Chain A
Amino acid sequence: MADSAKPEAHAPNPDIDSYAHESELEAHLQTKSMVINMGPSHPATHGTVRLKVELDGETITKIDPEIGFLHRGFQKSCENVTWTQCLPYTDRLNYLSAMMNNFGFLNAVEKLIGLEIPERAQYIRVIGSELHRLTDHLTCVGATGLEMGGFAPFLYGMEARELIQDRVTELTGARLTTSFGRVGGINRDLPEGWIAKVHKTLTRTEELLVEMDGLLTRNRIFVDRTKDTGVITADDAIDYGWTGPALRACGVDYDIRKVRPYWVYERFDFDVPVGEHGDNYDRYLVRLEEMRQSIRILRQAMDTIPAGPIIVDDWRIALPPKPEVYGTIEGVMAHFKLVMEGIQVPPGEVYDSTEASNGELGWYLVSDGRGRPYKVHVRAPGFPVLAALPHIITGKMLPDLVPTFDTINMIGGEVEQ
């Protein structure tokens, strides 16, 4: 009883303290914070993620991203199939830039084997990657506009994306899940007349980019909503493990294509846009500029692509040409062994990374030499980015959550694997 009486002794006493009543007046009315679920089925959570948000008024006091709605056991599935058969699984990591996942995986496998792929194949990989970087960024920038209420930029982005996906379909046979490329090169050469078509598509894309730019970049409402919201410092971003456009928007000039060039990237002339403030507006601008740079790379690559083989001439790795399969015993045997047993990747482990549209897409592969992966681990660029979301948004307002969630562009498929 004595304990419970104690706090009252410290409470303001109206008889002796003349200001006591004022503190009572100025005390806020007791309000409860409200817990609200954004997602899994919510317009702003593209991908399926659940954000458990605790609100005080509309200020976010706590946010808890919950992932796992898209978990499909990617790593385990890969362990039960041959190296080549892993490719369709990598498509599903980021449904907007499947080719980058394909090529990133293949690059890591080739590194494990110690294989140099033909030059033309490297060019095609660059072209495919940059096309898919465009679609990914177009979707991200468009969705940023859309979720702030501007529908038009989204549809301009979609128009450009559809055109590019038509080209992707002509190249790979699929719109989204391309499963393109094979260990040692590419399974299919560029179609006839395809390069001219892509040039046309890029011209139209540039026009649409101008439209999106005009609708958003200097739009006062858009600027007010994105500038100084969702800010993260460069140090924090690095601590969280950010990569890609989101990190570059903080002012860190880190792009694997420049830092550690792979394929033929060092032959092309392109700039890496770097932001300053690490806010939503910079992330948006960086993505917008990266699209222009991708178009630059694409044009250079298509103008200078050399002729030649598209896959290594090694029947232990690449399927033999069909006449050989049908006409020679060696061809049949090589084909049979490749299909039934898979590529015999020598035992060992490797980490390799490429610059995917949202950052460093890393692959940690372990092989025990049996033709199937012993372990496949993906370092998804979206995971650290999502992990930093509570750090960025706590204490900010609920409407700021939406543009922030858009510009960090977390992709459900790769985060949850």
Chain B
Amino acid sequence: MSRILTMLVAMATIVVALAGGVATAYLVGGFVEAHGFTGASRLTNIVFLMLVFVMIIATLLTLAERKWSAFMQDRVGPNRARLGIPGLKNRSLGGIPHIITDVLKMLTKEDFIPGMANRFLFNLGPLLAFAPVFALFAVVPAGPTVTVLGQKVDMVVATPDFGILYLFAIASLAVYGTALAGWSSNNKFALLGGVRASAQMISYEVALGLSLVGLFLTFSSVQLPALVGDVANALSPATGQGQYLWSTQVFGLDIGIPAWGFIIQPLGFIGFFVASFAETKRAPFDVPEGESEIIGYFVEYSGMKFGMFMISEFVEVVVLAGVTTALFFGGHNLPIFGEALANNAFMQEHGWVYGTILGTVFWLKVLFLIWVQLVIRWTFPRFRYDQIQSLGWKILLPVGLVNVFVTAALVLWDPSLRALGVVGILEIAVFVALTLSKKENSEAGAHGDAHGHDHGHAAPAGAHADPHPSAAGAH
């Protein structure tokens, strides 16, 4: 009971903190736009989005992961470290002091370079693992464009023409960090890890690229702000994922089914989520680490150099959640009541309040997706890496190709996207049905008929890539 209460308090704190952060970001952005130069808010956005939001969430995630895994495994989780401040001395504070102790520990470890290692590449490894991952969030919009202090302020660092291609380009760089770390350590386990990382990269990268094409052709853009879109207001119709597939008015409030990516592109969503999950190198895709087999590509690293690999993993989790939110969960848009809120006179008057509400919505969606990733990470065992290759090439790639052309045909046939929505909802229904289908197997197990289960469509859980009937057709 007290645990539930603690969690509720923690959640409320998180919502308030997020709202506060977003509001500050918008107000500071408006202030520097008004008193500085045009475009200055983009620079403050770097500070707020990338240094404050992403880095702090990633840091807290190191603890949240341990706490949540403990929760899943009937444990208590970290609660030993204490702050030596009067009044707080006997409180575990949910384990938060452990973050400090972890950082201090890593900082004061010996920075050790193995004798036979290539010093330059050995040092370059963690750098290449962290820097690209950190830079990823730059193109993700974390809130609507609103007017603050008479200036237009948007909540994104950069909106280059190539949009999401930036993500693909930069994210692929991180594998160099892993491969270099593995090779330069002059350790056989590390070498195996580095080779595995490259094997894994070539397995999922194609599926990753293909999975989003359907979304691009639906909204005719590769730019994230355009894909996220905006709800309809007096001046312009709805764009991107801000539009409704079907909607109606109830008491002057709009409700309906929004054109979010995961509804119109469920296959694209699953392909993208699986492939980018593989990119984070976390279980079930942690073969480069493969702790119980080869200990990991970073086996020779110590101190903060090891910490860089670890924190880049967590930053990647946050970025993946952010990108998935923007691409498939409507970004900062509310599922319902979006138009009512946007056209509210008070909201139009005070743009920053509107921005704060929607920005908080965005970060809450991000937190939800981070949670989903934590649950997946602590539920599944690890793939063997030729199985990842099979998954990428024999399932995700054909599914991705079929998805592209089916989507294209449906978009041409019905530009209102409703046909796409119907097919998407049907696909989701099939996934749910497959996941919930339970085959009796206790009898089979008792008498040793171990292989009696249906091998083909036994889906372990909804989030896991499932050989969909259309994939079976494409084989």
Contact = CB atoms under 8 A, between A and B. Distances in A.
A–B contact via C-beta, under 8 angstroms = yes
A224 B387 contact: yes
Contacts of A227: 451, 455
A219 B380 CA distance: 8
Which of B73, B192, B293, B378 has its CB near the most chain A CB atoms (within 10 A)?
B293
Interface stretch (B4-12, B411-419, B456-464): B456-464
Contact of A146 (B188, B292, B383, B449): B292
B445 A151 contact: no
Nearest to B75: A155
A277 B451 contact: yes
B293 A399 contact: yes
A101 B189 CA distance: 37
Contacts of B294: 398
Interface size for chain A: under 10, 10 to 19, 20 to 34, or 35 or more residues? 35 or more
B290 to A, nearest CB: 7
B292 A155 contact: no
Nearest to A222: B381
A148 interface: yes
A357 B196 CA distance: 36
Interface in B266-289: 283-284, 286-287
B458 A152 contact: no
Interface stretch (A11-19, A36-44, A380-388): A36-44
Which of A146, A224, A277, A399 has its CB near the most chain B CB atoms (within 10 A)?
A399
Contacts of B283: 149-150
Interface string B442-468: 000111111101010011100010000
B441 A273 contact: no
Contacts of A44: 292-293
A83 interface: no
Contacts of A36: 188-189, 192
Contacts of A285: 445, 448, 450
B291 interface: yes
A305 interface: no
Contact of A221 (B290, B378, B381, B439): B381
B350 interface: no
B385 interface: yes
Interface residues of B, number: 44
Given A220-B458, A273-B446, A148 B72 contact: no
A220 B460 contact: yes
Nearest to A229: B384
A278 to B, nearest CB: 10
Contacts of B69: 151-152
Contacts of B448: 248, 251, 273-276, 282, 285-286, 289
A369 to B, nearest CB: 46
B159 interface: no
B290 A399 contact: yes
Given A36-B189, A152-B72, A217-B441, A275 B384 contact: no
A273 B460 contact: no
Interface string A316-341: 00000000000000000000000000
Contacts of A159: 74
A277 B455 CA distance: 15
A219 B449 contact: no
Interface in A169-228: 215-225, 227
Interface string A136-167: 00000000011111111001100100000000
A34 B188 contact: yes
A116 interface: no
Contacts of A275: 448, 450
Contacts of B446: 271, 273, 289, 292
A288 interface: yes
Nearest to A406: B292
Contacts of B385: 58, 399
Contacts of A216: 381
Contacts of B80: none
Interface in A26-56: 34, 36, 42-44, 55
B91 interface: no
A237 interface: no
A79 interface: no
Interface string A237-273: 0000000000010010000000000000000000101
Given A271-B446, A273-B448, A274-B448, A152 B460 contact: no
B89 interface: no
A145 B379 CA distance: 10
B292 A147 contact: yes
B450 A219 contact: no
A399 B69 CA distance: 25
A402 interface: yes
Give the 8 A-B CB pairs with smallest separation, nearest first: A149-B382, A148-B381, A150-B381, A147-B292, A155-B73, A274-B448, A399-B384, A219-B460
14 contacts: A55-B192, A149-B380, A149-B381, A150-B283, A152-B72, A152-B379, A221-B383, A251-B448, A276-B449, A276-B450, A282-B450, A289-B446, A397-B386, A398-B294
Interface of A: 34, 36, 42-44, 55, 58, 145-152, 155-156, 159, 215-225, 227, 248, 251, 271, 273-277, 281-282, 285-286, 288-289, 292, 397-402
Interface of B: 69, 72-75, 188-189, 192, 196, 283-284, 286-287, 290-295, 378-387, 439, 441, 445-451, 453, 455, 458-460, 464
Given A42-B295, A399-B384, 19 more contacts: A146-B292, A149-B283, A149-B382, A150-B283, A150-B381, A151-B73, A152-B69, A152-B73, A155-B73, A156-B73, A218-B453, A223-B453, A225-B384, A227-B451, A274-B447, A275-B450, A282-B451, A397-B384, A398-B192
